[in-house]
Amino acid sequence: MSDTKEKKKKPSALKKLFDLAGKNTTFLRDGDEVFVKVYKNKVRQVYPLKSKAYKNYIMAMYIYKYKTTLDKKTTDGVLENLEGVYSLLKEEVRVYTRIAYNHDEIEIDLGDPNWNSIKINKTGWTVSPHKEHLFRPKNTLPLTVPASSAKKLKLFKELFRLSEDDYKLIIGWLLECFMPQEPYPILILQGQQGSGKSTLVKLLRSIIDPSKAPSISLPKEEKDLYIQAKNNLILSYDNQRELKFEISDRLCRISTGGGYSSRKLYTDFDEIELNFSRPIMLNGINNIATQSDLNSRAITIHLNEITDSRMQMKDLESIFNESRAEMLGELCDTVVAILNAEEPELKLGRMADFIVWVTKGEEALGWDKYSFQQAYENNKKEVIKARLENDPVFSTLTKLVSEHDSKIVFDGIPSELSNQLQGRMNEEYTIGNFPRYVSTFSKRLRQLQPDFYDVGIKVHYSKSGYRRIVVENHDFQPEPIEDDEGQSGQEGQEGRQISKKNPSVMSNGEKISVFLPAMPSVPSIYPKKS
């Protein structure tokens, strides 16, 4: 009888482990996920509750105290019960990956054994133990401790033969990794073999978020993409080809702050939600981004060939690594300047927060005022024009806008606009290239709306009894037309410019013969209804 009572009083291995874990752990709830904060060797560390690291931690504690091992079933049972209990915590906290934000302070996990971080605020930056809750994924590598002794970011320009604008865009993208809010632009690096695009991706990431796997594969499943976002500050994908619409759309949502929801495993009603926004890098040989939405969020850099020698590429990395501490220090100094800077007076469109953020750091970097915005806008226009130079709808509409001085270029029904654009077809286009049906034309026009907006043309629809299309000259700057002597129409011989308002008369009054198709007489390519 006494033996039975003694057995009942003896706690099970499950209970002992449960009690042991609860006494030595602080539990944190971030959305649907439970994290743990433990002290190992007097250092505060944060892990997901069901991570292998925390499982090893509690098993080690149990073995140390009770001098016996545990089976996997018992350990998993404890973790399952702990998750159920602490998922009901009322207080929710934010757990970050690599970079944390707290009001006017930015904290960057150094990835060192002592769990130190770089803390950046208006007074400067320091290195000290973690203040915020920073989760360290298993692939995390340590950062170089920053140094402020020299300006070394210009090495990017020298080593990779970048133009001044491309250099500013790449440094701007690095700075946006410190930015406490989305959206983040997507950096696309294109170039032939030997241009160093893969090396550049690796080196850029090594400054802020070094990883055992600097480049990863694009997953087929959306859920896997968000899991990658959870475990990386920077998502970098190597050797990409043309992206399908589904993949392009997912990357856009990650860069601007999107979420993923799915039914929880082994349940009928419970859902899991993953919400992350991350800076993204892509590289490839050909034109990767073909979707307008992705292009509107991207910075595209074309790299020139550097070398075919692997040894020389290793030398390039060696030079870079010697200056990595100073590069990170210069970025930290610039972020301090950004936090102290006043709001610039800018005319903003897409990616406004990003442009403002980098513009605030121009003085610290030694750049001309507002030069970054100019570089960014030039990049977008060049990419759009290169991608759509053979698109008849894009080419003819930009031609139409360039012929008008007024803000409202067109206000009418889709068929009228289509007929006008057909009349401006160049000889390199055939009627077959142009959308055959009005519905197809309207669909293509909608697809191109973001591209038109980025080059300064606003296309929108109004409804007043029937659907109308309105085309506005928002801020379109047509390329100058060269004359026979290679001079632009605006900078050529004085008095020889064609008047926009009356194309048959020069600005000096001289009459000339110019053939222009009469818009009402342009034959429609749409088949007649029988």
Strand order in the sheet with 280-284: 235-237, 280-284, 186-190, 298-302
Note the pLDDT tens digit of each residue in 45-69.
999 999 988 998 888 889 988 888 8
Note the pLDDT tens digit of each residue in 332-375.
999 999 999 998 888 777 788 899 999 999 999 999 999 999 99
User: Which of 356, 384, 412 is at the close of a domain?
Assistant: 384
Which helix (H) or strand (E) is 125 found in, with range? Answer: strand 124-129
> For residue 115, is pLDDT > 70?
yes
pLDDT of res. 196: 84
pLDDT of res. 99: 93
pLDDT of res. 486: 44
Range from 65-74, 83-92, 344-353 carrying the lowest mean pLDDT? 344-353
Same domain for 377 and 483, yes or no, is no
Residue in 345, 261, 349, 371 with CA at minimum distance from that of residue 297 = 349
67: exposed, middle or buried (Cβ count in 10 Å: 0-12, 13-18, 19+): exposed
Same domain for 301 and 397, yes or no, is no
Please tell me which residue, 195 or 66, carries the higher pLDDT value: 66
> For residue 149, is pLDDT > 80?
no
Is 62 within a domain?
yes
Helix (H, G, I), strand (E, B) or coil at 169: helix
Same domain for 408 and 373, yes or no, is no
Is 124 within a domain?
no
| Beta carbons within 8 Å of 127's beta carbon, 6+ residues apart | 110, 116, 117, 118, 119, 145, 146
Please give the share of the chain, as a percent, with pLDDT higher than 90.
32
Q: What's the structural domain count of the chain?
A: 3
pLDDT of res. 519: 35
Same domain for 159 and 219, yes or no, is yes
Is 108 within a domain?
no
pLDDT of res. 495: 33
> For residue 71, is pLDDT > 90?
no
The sign of the dihedral angle between the CA atoms of 201, 204, 206, 209 is: negative
Angle between helices 72-86 and 13-23 (to 10 degrees): 50
> For residue 500, is pLDDT > 80?
no
Is 223 within a domain?
yes
Is 98 within a domain?
no
User: Which of 34, 52, 86 is at the close of a domain?
Assistant: 86
How many whole angstroms separate alpha carbon 500 and alpha carbon 106? 53
Note the pLDDT tens digit of each residue in 385-420.
888 877 889 988 988 998 888 889 999 999 999 988
Note the pLDDT tens digit of each residue in 250-301.
898 888 876 555 545 444 445 556 667 899 999 988 777 777 778 788 899 9
> For residue 432, is pLDDT > 90?
no
> For residue 31, is pLDDT > 80?
yes
User: Which of 53, 86, 119 is at the close of a domain?
Assistant: 86
Question: Domain holding 366: CATH number?
Answer: 3.40.50.300
pLDDT of res. 248: 86
Same domain for 361 and 472, yes or no, is no
> For residue 482, is pLDDT > 80?
no
Is 141 within a domain?
no
Is 144 within a domain?
no
Same domain for 192 and 310, yes or no, is yes
Please tell me which residue, 76 or 264, carries the higher pLDDT value: 76
Same domain for 450 and 367, yes or no, is no
Same domain for 261 and 372, yes or no, is yes
How does the average pLDDT of the chain come out, rounded?
81
Same domain for 241 and 347, yes or no, is yes
The sign of the dihedral angle between the CA atoms of 232, 236, 240, 246 is: positive
161: left (phi over 0), alpha (psi -120 to 50) or beta: left
Same domain for 510 and 480, yes or no, is yes
The parent domain of residue 174 ranges over 155-384
pLDDT of res. 175: 96
pLDDT of res. 273: 61
Mean pLDDT computed over 81-94? 87
Same domain for 224 and 320, yes or no, is yes
Mean pLDDT computed over 132-153? 89
Is 209 within a domain?
yes
pLDDT of res. 262: 57
> For residue 470, is pLDDT > 60?
yes
> For residue 223, is pLDDT > 90?
no
Same domain for 222 and 296, yes or no, is yes
